[in-house]
Chains A and B, each alone.
Chain A
Amino acid sequence: MLGDFAVGKTSLVNRFVNNAFSERYLSTVGVKIDTKPVQLPNRQLKLVLWDLAGSEPLNGAAKSYLVGTHGIVLVADGTRPQTLDAAMRIHEHAETLIGARPTVVLINKADLESQWRTTPADLHNARQWALNAWETSALTGAHVEDAFLTLAGAMP
């Protein structure tokens, strides 16, 4: 899970793994690891989710955390367009460290409609290079499972 701080990475994992949501913002230190078994059409898989503390650019310890990564969930906050640009830069940096990996893009906090500032074009652009992109909400759960399962299906 990569992205700028406070975009909702931990909340997305919490929604996907525990089907829960907390309004309280608790900054992640280092890395938080969760697991979730998923059933794909042709196989069962145990996803080990490494939720990295949000920072842009990636800090010096990032390479250690990224070793062994099979896929990337790139997260931005739809109410802060600058986090989408930050996500792109983070992704580019990660690729220079570990090479290309299957990636899905989640523009999160879709429930905050009145503050939404990214555009359909942003979503369209992300779909040009990522496996897929969604406007997600950790609060409502919208498209959260779609995103994780799509990535799981693309991983070895």
Chain B
Amino acid sequence: MSAADLPVSAQRYLLAQLTNQRHMLCLHVLNGVGTVVSGDPAHFGFAVADDGSVVTSDLGLGVVDNRHGLQLSHVQLGDGACFDLHQLIEDERRLWVLVDVSDSRDEIRQAQQRSNDARLRLDELSERERLLHAEHQALRESSDQLRRHQHMQAEFVRRLSHEFGTPISAVLGHLNLMDAPGTTVDQAQRSLTAVRRGVAHLRQLVESVLDQARLQNNQFELHPAVTNLAEMIDDFRELYLGSSLQRGIAWRVSLEAHGCTAVLIDELRLRQILLNLIGNAFKFTNQGQVALKVRWHDALLSAEVSDSGPGMSETEQARLFSDYGRSSQSVRGTGLGLSISREIAQRIGGNLRLLESAPGQGSRFLLEVPAPIVHGAPEDQPAELVAQRVLVVDDDDDLRPLLVAILEQLGCSATAVARMDEIALDQNPPPDVAVVDMHLGQLDGSVILQQLRVSWPDCYLLALSADSSQDVLERSRRAGADSFLLKPVEPGALSLALQVAAQRSEGNA
């Protein structure tokens, strides 16, 4: 069948479609039930299905029932042929005409591709602009943040200079005074008290700065131990009793422990947080009261510290827990206390927050930390300190005699050496206790501990260091130390360690 066999209307249509560049690829004529009656069914996707109903299976047109004809432009098959497809309905017949459009397809594709490429480049440019804008924004924010941080650090250094300068001046001044000719014993005693106070303050400042550095550098370590709650609360009561009486401020302390006497927690850090909160409360309160309410229930320790001080505005509250977030009141301190306290509370697994505060209404803080109960903890009866023979190994010429003096005040018989070769390992009987500094110049104290552990198996070995990092603790333990003491040595802590040594000695006997 050729085009001339088509009805006139179809011929006219085809003439309008075919030009110099467009020629008819093939013509298929289907009867009313969709069977190909003319044309090669194998061409261009036309095929007769077994039941004769599907005529254009590869084109997916078999199901189309379009009574008004169909036109599809630029149909490309897998073999690369590209045609416009026309379906004409004539006298119950369907005429399918495929017109070759390969040439125009290529032209259109080139134009379309240029347009798409341009849009892709535009998209890419927009994306780069967006990224640049985001980077610019981030840079501006970090620059602002850096500027704020630098300002705060400068303020911090200025404040620290003042904070350190004041007690150092006081200490030096009082020491000169004590040394001056004609100073009476009473004056010297007063100066000594002032020196002690100044040094204690300096120590607190140094600890704050060190704590902040440890927290920032992730070197902060916790050492949970059995802690007697009632004892700790009594200590706080006693500690601030004098201050409250002197200043006429009511000091209320309460403990609701629900039968719990001892808990497992890092006592040093818990005390540090509470001392910071109570210290602040007393620092800012001139009249009224300061209260500490401690409650233990279901492995959770909560401590509420409230005061009737000046309270804080919302602006002050917003920066309360930030580094150097000092309140506007002119008071002493690094301004790091609360931020460190909150950080420590979080490291313990708890939290510290401000419950309420308003100008003129006082403030109320709440500390909550996990504190598992310890069953069967020994009653903390102070053991009678039996006279013990103690050897001190420390290369610091100031600390060595100080330790000997403290030990003698505690009723011990103490000797001290600065080097390992000065230790008489053959003495018989050996000392009951040996206090060994972990940093002896070039020598690692753990070498001495190991030697002593071998030579004197029953001697109680007490490692000593200003460094409480896990590494030092572990080295001392592996070298055979029975316990660890942190510098600067508190007489109370040394006494406690000697009690434990005595109890162990009795146990062994």
Could you tell me which A residues sit within 8 Å of B by CB distance? 5-6, 17, 25-35, 46, 48, 50, 53-54, 61, 64-65, 67-68, 80, 82
> How long is the Cα–Cα vector from A30 to B45 in the complex, in angstroms?
17
Give the distance in Å from the alpha carbon of A50 to the alpha carbon of B75 in the complex. 9
Q: For the complex, what is the distance from the CA of A29 to the CA of B80, rounded to whole Å?
A: 12
Contact B123 A31 (CB under 8 A): no
Do B59 and A64 have beta carbons less than 8 Å apart?
A: no
Q: Shortest 3 CB-CB distances between A and B: which pairs?
A: A30-B74, A48-B60, A27-B113
Q: Which of B34-73 contact A (CB under 8 A)?
A: 45, 57-61, 63-64, 66, 70-73
Q: Judging by beta carbons under 8 Å apart, are B72 and A31 in contact?
A: yes
- Bin chain B's interface residue count: 20 to 34
In the complex, the answer to whether A33 meets B59 with C-beta atoms within 8 Å is yes
CB distance from B155 to the nearest CB of A (A): 42
| A51 CB to nearest chain B CB (Å) | 9
Most chain B CB neighbours (cut-off 10 Å) among A28, A29, A48: A29
| Contact A26:B109 (CB < 8 A) given known A31-B72, A31-B75, A68-B64 | yes
Task: Kindly provide the distance from the CB of B17 to the nearest chain A CB, expressed in whole angstroms.
Answer: 15
Complex Cα spacing A25 to B117, Å: 9
Contact B78 A80 (CB under 8 A): no
Query: Once A and B bind, how many residue pairs between them come within 8 Å at the CB atom?
Result: 69
Residues of A within 8 A of B254 (CB): none
| B123-A80 in contact (CB<8A) | yes
Q: Is B119 an interface residue (CB 8 A)?
A: yes
Known: A27-B116, A31-B75. A67 touches B64 (CB 8 A): yes
Closest A residue to B60 using CB positions: A48
Pairs A–B under 8 Å by Cβ, sample size 30: A25-B113, A26-B113, A27-B112, A27-B113, A27-B116, A29-B76, A29-B105, A29-B108, A29-B112, A30-B72, A30-B73, A30-B76, A30-B105, A31-B72, A31-B74, A32-B77, A33-B45, A33-B59, A33-B75, A33-B77, A35-B58, A46-B57, A48-B57, A50-B60, A61-B72, A64-B70, A65-B72, A68-B60, A68-B63, A80-B123
Residues of B within 8 A of A61 (CB): 72-73
Q: List, in ascending order, chain A residues with CB within 8 A of B45's CB.
A: 33
